[in-house]
Chain A
Amino acid sequence: MAKTYDYLFKLLLIGDSGVGKTSILFRFSEDAFNISFISTIGIDFKIRTIDLDGKKVKLQIWDTAGQERFRTITTAYYRGSMGIMLVYDVTNEKSFENIKNWIRNIEENASADVEKMILGNKCDLDSKRQVSKERGEQLAIEYQIKFVETSAKDSLNVEYAFFTLARDIKAKMEKKQEASNPAPRTGGHQLRANEQQRKPTSWLSRCSLL
């Protein structure tokens, strides 16, 4: 039977409650937006297949509850993740400050080579902004993580963020594969040899375009 995908990447969305994790995922998976706030309970996931350099990449994206009381349930999912989106809300200083704590969480619970990305969400709400884009970038550079400001509402940079993260994971995977003996199978994920390594286009240049 023909395989329905070439790669399966498990991604994780973390960040304070209300920053828009579910909204970002909803935008990415359903291309829709909901103004009402229904806080996530526990954990949920969505799957979307994207095309990366001619490869079918299945993204299984886990959306975690930001609320403290679900922390134990959600941290269990760090381990299996290959990419993590750290989301804060540009209109909420506290959520930005907490990014450091979330990074510590990742360090403690996720595998060391997990790909990360910081998203400053709700950038459409310029009038209520508390965290400047520069501060976001500053923090990202500090941790050597990619950064982009997004708006789930206006569908700004959401696709870009997921594609970038996926592309980075794919690149890292292919690099690792080249280094080690090309084994046909690692864990549940099928990897193909001779995958052409593609450098992701600079996210900075993209961002300034937008």
Chain B
Amino acid sequence: MTNATIQEIEGIDDYWGPAFRSVYEGEGHEAFVQQLDERIKQHDKEIEKLCNFHYQGFIDSIRELLKVRSHAEELHAEISNVDANVKEATESICTRADELIRARRVELNIAATIEKMELCLPLLTTYSKLKTQVEAKRYYPALKTLEQLEHVLLPRVGPYKWCAQIAGDIPRLRQAIQDASMADLRDFLENIRRLSPQVGAMALRQTQDLLGRSLASIVKNKKDMAVLGIAGKEPIGPQCPHELVDFSPLHRCLHIHSVLGAKNDFIQYYRAQRKQQARLVLIPSGNLHDNIQSVKNYLNAVLGFFILEEYLLSAGAGLVSKDWLLDTWSMSVTKVASTLRTNTSLITDPTLMLSIKHQIVLFINTLKCYGLPADPLPLLLQEMAEHYTEVLMQRWVVVFRDILDNASFTPIEVETQDQYDGVMDTFPYEGEELETQPFPRKFPFSSIVPAVYVQVKEFIYAWLKYSAGLGLGGSRRAAAARHSASLLLSRSFTGCLSALFRRPLPLMQLVQIIVDTKYLEDATLCLYEFISNITGSELVTTQTAGSMFQAARDDAEQQICDKLEKKVDEFLDLENYDWLLVEPTGQASSFVTDMLSYLSGVLTSLEQLPERARVAAVRAATNRIATRLRNLLLEPGVRQISSGALHQLDLDVIQCEQFAAGEPVPGLREGELLEHFASLRQLLDLVNGWEWSSYLHDVGIDGGKYALVTPRDAATLLEKLKEAEQKSSVFTVLKKNERDRRKLLDTVLKQLKQLQNQDGS
């Protein structure tokens, strides 16, 4: 038993429990502890033996190990060294490598940038091109560039900040271009405003050349050119008026605005501007009535303006429409006409009028060439014609006044044949009997007749100058000229004559004027002949001058009558009656004889006067004498009249009656002049004849012997007679028959008073 258990324990590595149980539960514990001790002693002996065996080896190993240890240390140092060396060597490499890496990265970046930049470059060059174009004012290409920039280039490039800036710049640039092109337009407008007058002037000059062109002048020009060796093909300077103006800025502006989509706005703007300019052009810069140059400038400017518009119309860009042009034109031509009308109405210089008329005619002709209606202008020319006539008449009024002021109003007397021919050359006088008379010969008319006749011809010349070139027919011109010439004579000349009559003229001069006007009247037919000759129209004989100076002659006749009456008055103012004269002298008073001889002298010298005028003159004079003499008797200033004084007056009246009866001028009715003295004669006869009973009997009966004596006059005179008688007999005792006479006188007076009262009631 015990041995077995130890083997079991040794035989099994683990699971020693059951073995120990059996030990523990059996009785053999001592034996087993002894066996275990013996076993431990055996193992100890075996361990000892093993240790003894391996000891040497062990020592060797330790020794060896120590040796390894030093080697290891050596190695360690060596390795450390190497390691430091390597470390040192690799450090720069590492930096290089880092650098390399970075460079590589940069290189890549650069490539990418270049790629991007290449995309941007066209945008930038275009942008700069745009800028230079704008700067060079080449707006239209600039605008095209802008388009490209906006629609092609910008979208292609990415959303960079600067792109946004450029994109933002585009509207601003576009606006700038628009503004700049507007500025250009304004410059253009300014320019054509300045050039319009030249354009107009050139057009007018061309019309003038055209009008003045005749076959002869064309041939001459050709020859001149041939002589000068000019082939006639090299045009120097502009050929057409509109070529004076460079329209390109305008067209550019139009293009620009078309591109900008503002074409219509632009057209509207252009028209508005031009309309405004038209208004300015239509206001003349100065007075048009003092020199032709201002009129020329005015018309040139207006014409130039519309020639340019007309050119634009035909150029067809749509800037100017026919309606717009005609509309503006009609507004303008009306204004032109009214401006010219107001200004020309102030002109008093016929030469200036003619120049202006010429200018207007040229203007109208030029308008026709450009298809512009001339309409109110022909009417204006007509009105101006009237004014021209007025102006001429005013001129000739001065001429006539001058002639009349310096006229002697005496018949022309010529001493020689030359002088005679001189008169006959200037005035159509048919005086055959004068032809044969010896020198000095005397014409019936005064120098004013040929002078006025010549001046009327001058007037006609001047007048016809205006109607030249108006395209009127010869007969119309002639009719108008005849009209104006008669107007000149009947108005202007007659006016001068009436002015002449306003100052006192000697009698003979008045007579001569009457004679002269007759000759002038007769000569109007010759004037008409003259007119038809120079106008090349048929002579119109039906239209006669009539008696255009009749009014003037009436004036003159009236003056003659007035003059004679005044002379009569002057003589009668010399009257010096002694109203208390006892005995008449038996001689007529000297003032009466002086007067009558003066009158007969004057009346004989009136023999050239038409009979009518002479009769009127003598009637006026005798009537005046009769009235004044009769008034002497009846005027209240004379209180008393003696029968002696009455007889003296009777004697004087008889002188006058003899004069009247002697028919101082022919053409009077038998006894006509005596009628002026009839009432005076009856009064004198009544009182001197003391025929009161028959007077009072016949009162109120027509055809009575004293029918012309009114009771009032009879009473007045009788009263004066009574006064005078009373005065002369105041201290003497009246004789019987004188007392009877006094009594009768009182009775008659009473009766006359009664009659007077009857008449009065």
Instruction: Determine the chain A residues whose CB is within 8 A of the CB of B508 once the complex forms.
Output: 41-42
Instruction: Determine the chain A residues whose CB is within 8 A of the CB of B405 once the complex forms.
Output: 36
Closest to A65 in B: B508
Q: How far is the CA of A3 from the CA of B638 in the complex (A)?
A: 11
The answer to whether B509 and A1 have CB atoms under 8 Å apart is no
- Does B408 reach chain A (CB closer than 8 Å)? yes
Instruction: Determine the chain B residues whose CB is within 8 A of the CB of A58 once the complex forms.
Output: 574
The answer to whether B574 and A8 have CB atoms under 8 Å apart is yes
- Does A39 reach chain B (CB closer than 8 Å)? yes
The answer to whether A38 and B574 have CB atoms under 8 Å apart is no
Q: How far is the CA of A56 from the CA of B576 in the complex (A)?
A: 13
Listed stretches B517-525, B549-557, B588-596; interface member: B588-596
Q: Which of B410, B507, B570 meets A39, CB within 8 Å? A: B410
The answer to whether A188 and B605 have CB atoms under 8 Å apart is no
The answer to whether A38 and B576 have CB atoms under 8 Å apart is no
- Does B506 reach chain A (CB closer than 8 Å)? yes
Shortest beta-carbon distance, A8 to chain B, in Å? 6
The answer to whether A47 and B601 have CB atoms under 8 Å apart is no
Per-residue contact bits, chain A 1-21, to B (CB 8 Å; 1 contact, 0 not): 111100010000000000000
Shortest beta-carbon distance, A111 to chain B, in Å? 14
Shortest beta-carbon distance, A57 to chain B, in Å? 12
The answer to whether A188 and B591 have CB atoms under 8 Å apart is yes
- Does A187 reach chain B (CB closer than 8 Å)? yes
Instruction: Determine the chain B residues whose CB is within 8 A of the CB of A60 once the complex forms.
Output: 574
Per-residue contact bits, chain B 285-306, to A (CB 8 Å; 1 contact, 0 not): 0000000000000000000000
Shortest beta-carbon distance, B512 to chain A, in Å? 9
The answer to whether A4 and B638 have CB atoms under 8 Å apart is no
The answer to whether B409 and A185 have CB atoms under 8 Å apart is no
Shortest beta-carbon distance, A88 to chain B, in Å? 21
Instruction: Determine the chain B residues whose CB is within 8 A of the CB of A3 once the complex forms.
Output: 576
Instruction: Determine the chain A residues whose CB is within 8 A of the CB of B507 once the complex forms.
Output: 41, 44
The answer to whether B638 and A1 have CB atoms under 8 Å apart is yes
The answer to whether B601 and A73 have CB atoms under 8 Å apart is yes
Per-residue contact bits, chain A 30-54, to B (CB 8 Å; 1 contact, 0 not): 0000001111111111010000000
Q: A36-B406, A39-B410, A41-B605 known; A187 and B590 CB under 8 Å?
A: yes
Question: How many A residues are at the interface, by size bracket?
Answer: 20 to 34
Shortest beta-carbon distance, A205 to chain B, in Å? 34
Instruction: Determine the chain A residues whose CB is within 8 A of the CB of B594 once the complex forms.
Output: 80
The answer to whether B591 and A38 have CB atoms under 8 Å apart is no
The answer to whether A8 and B576 have CB atoms under 8 Å apart is yes
- Does B637 reach chain A (CB closer than 8 Å)? yes
- Does A197 reach chain B (CB closer than 8 Å)? no
Q: Which chain B residues (394-430) contact chain A, with CB distance < 8 Å?
A: 405-406, 408-410
- Does B602 reach chain A (CB closer than 8 Å)? yes
Closest to A42 in B: B605
Instruction: Determine the chain B residues whose CB is within 8 A of the CB of A4 once the complex forms.
Output: 573
The answer to whether A47 and B590 have CB atoms under 8 Å apart is no
Q: How far is the CA of A187 from the CA of B509 in the complex (A)?
A: 35
Q: A1-B638, A38-B509 known; A43 and B601 CB under 8 Å?
A: yes
Q: How far is the CA of A53 from the CA of B578 in the complex (A)?
A: 24
- Does B224 reach chain A (CB closer than 8 Å)? no
- Does A144 reach chain B (CB closer than 8 Å)? no
- Does B74 reach chain A (CB closer than 8 Å)? no
The answer to whether B590 and A44 have CB atoms under 8 Å apart is no
The answer to whether A47 and B602 have CB atoms under 8 Å apart is no
The answer to whether B601 and A42 have CB atoms under 8 Å apart is yes
Interface size on B, residues (CB 8 A): 28
- Does A190 reach chain B (CB closer than 8 Å)? yes
Q: A38-B506, A188-B591 known; A47 and B409 CB under 8 Å?
A: no
Instruction: Determine the chain B residues whose CB is within 8 A of the CB of A39 once the complex forms.
Output: 408, 410
Q: How far is the CA of A2 from the CA of B577 in the complex (A)?
A: 11
- Does B458 reach chain A (CB closer than 8 Å)? no
Q: How far is the CA of A189 from the CA of B594 in the complex (A)?
A: 13
Closest to B563 in A: A44
Shortest beta-carbon distance, A95 to chain B, in Å? 18
Closest to A1 in B: B637
Chain A contact residues: over half helix, strand or loop, or mixed? loop
Q: How far is the CA of A110 from the CA of B211 in the complex (A)?
A: 79
Between B573, B574, B578, B637, the greatest number of chain A beta carbons within 10 A of the residue's beta carbon is seen for B574
Q: Which of B570, B573, B576 meets A188, CB within 8 Å? A: B576
Closest to A10 in B: B594
Q: How far is the CA of A47 from the CA of B589 in the complex (A)?
A: 18
The answer to whether A41 and B410 have CB atoms under 8 Å apart is yes
Instruction: Determine the chain A residues whose CB is within 8 A of the CB of B190 once the complex forms.
Output: none
Q: Which chain B residues (625-648) contact chain A, with CB distance < 8 Å?
A: 635, 637-638
Instruction: Determine the chain A residues whose CB is within 8 A of the CB of B635 once the complex forms.
Output: 1
The answer to whether B590 and A188 have CB atoms under 8 Å apart is yes
Q: How far is the CA of A41 from the CA of B405 in the complex (A)?
A: 18
Instruction: Determine the chain A residues whose CB is within 8 A of the CB of B574 once the complex forms.
Output: 8, 47, 58, 60, 188
Shortest beta-carbon distance, A68 to chain B, in Å? 12
Closest to A46 in B: B570
Q: How far is the CA of A3 from the CA of B575 in the complex (A)?
A: 9
Q: How far is the CA of A41 from the CA of B508 in the complex (A)?
A: 7
The answer to whether B573 and A40 have CB atoms under 8 Å apart is no
Q: Which of B408, B410, B506, B579 meets A44, CB within 8 Å? A: B506
Shortest beta-carbon distance, A173 to chain B, in Å? 15
Q: Which of B567, B576, B579, B638 meets A190, CB within 8 Å? A: B576
Q: How far is the CA of A36 from the CA of B405 in the complex (A)?
A: 7
Instruction: Determine the chain B residues whose CB is within 8 A of the CB of A185 once the complex forms.
Output: 578
Q: How far is the CA of A90 from the CA of B198 in the complex (A)?
A: 67
The answer to whether A38 and B605 have CB atoms under 8 Å apart is no
Q: How far is the CA of A40 from the CA of B405 in the complex (A)?
A: 16
Closest to A63 in B: B506
Q: How far is the CA of A190 from the CA of B574 in the complex (A)?
A: 11
Shortest beta-carbon distance, A78 to chain B, in Å? 13
Instruction: Determine the chain B residues whose CB is within 8 A of the CB of A76 once the complex forms.
Output: 597
Instruction: Determine the chain B residues whose CB is within 8 A of the CB of A38 once the complex forms.
Output: 408-410, 506, 509
Instruction: Determine the chain A residues whose CB is within 8 A of the CB of B602 once the complex forms.
Output: 42
Closest to A58 in B: B574
Instruction: Determine the chain B residues whose CB is within 8 A of the CB of A42 once the complex forms.
Output: 508, 601-602, 605
Instruction: Determine the chain B residues whose CB is within 8 A of the CB of A80 once the complex forms.
Output: 590, 594
The answer to whether A41 and B506 have CB atoms under 8 Å apart is yes
Per-residue contact bits, chain A 108-127, to B (CB 8 Å; 1 contact, 0 not): 00000000000000000000
Per-residue contact bits, chain A 170-210, to B (CB 8 Å; 1 contact, 0 not): 00000000000000010111100000000000000000000
Closest to B569 in A: A47
Q: How far is the CA of A185 from the CA of B602 in the complex (A)?
A: 30
Shortest beta-carbon distance, B445 to chain A, in Å? 15
Q: How far is the CA of A193 from the CA of B605 in the complex (A)?
A: 42
Closest to B587 in A: A187
Instruction: Determine the chain A residues whose CB is within 8 A of the CB of B573 once the complex forms.
Output: 4, 47
The answer to whether B506 and A40 have CB atoms under 8 Å apart is yes
Q: How far is the CA of A45 from the CA of B598 in the complex (A)?
A: 10
Instruction: Determine the chain A residues whose CB is within 8 A of the CB of B578 once the complex forms.
Output: 185
Instruction: Determine the chain B residues whose CB is within 8 A of the CB of A40 once the complex forms.
Output: 506
Q: How far is the CA of A110 from the CA of B573 in the complex (A)?
A: 25
Shortest beta-carbon distance, A109 to chain B, in Å? 15
Q: How far is the CA of A73 from the CA of B509 in the complex (A)?
A: 18
Instruction: Determine the chain A residues whose CB is within 8 A of the CB of B409 once the complex forms.
Output: 38
Shortest beta-carbon distance, A184 to chain B, in Å? 8
Shortest beta-carbon distance, A4 to chain B, in Å? 7
Closest to A26 in B: B504
Shortest beta-carbon distance, B599 to chain A, in Å? 12
Instruction: Determine the chain A residues whose CB is within 8 A of the CB of B410 once the complex forms.
Output: 38-39, 41
Instruction: Determine the chain B residues whose CB is within 8 A of the CB of A36 once the complex forms.
Output: 405-406
Per-residue contact bits, chain B 712-727, to A (CB 8 Å; 1 contact, 0 not): 0000000000000000
Closest to B508 in A: A41
Shortest beta-carbon distance, A155 to chain B, in Å? 19
Shortest beta-carbon distance, A67 to chain B, in Å? 9
Between B594, B602, B637, the greatest number of chain A beta carbons within 10 A of the residue's beta carbon is seen for B594
Ordered by A's residue number, 10 sampled pairs between the chains whose C-beta atoms are within 8 Å are A4-B573, A38-B408, A41-B506, A41-B508, A42-B508, A42-B601, A42-B605, A73-B601, A76-B597, A188-B590
4 extra A-B contacts, CB within 8 A, seeds A37-B408, A38-B409, A41-B506: A3-B576, A38-B408, A73-B601, A76-B597
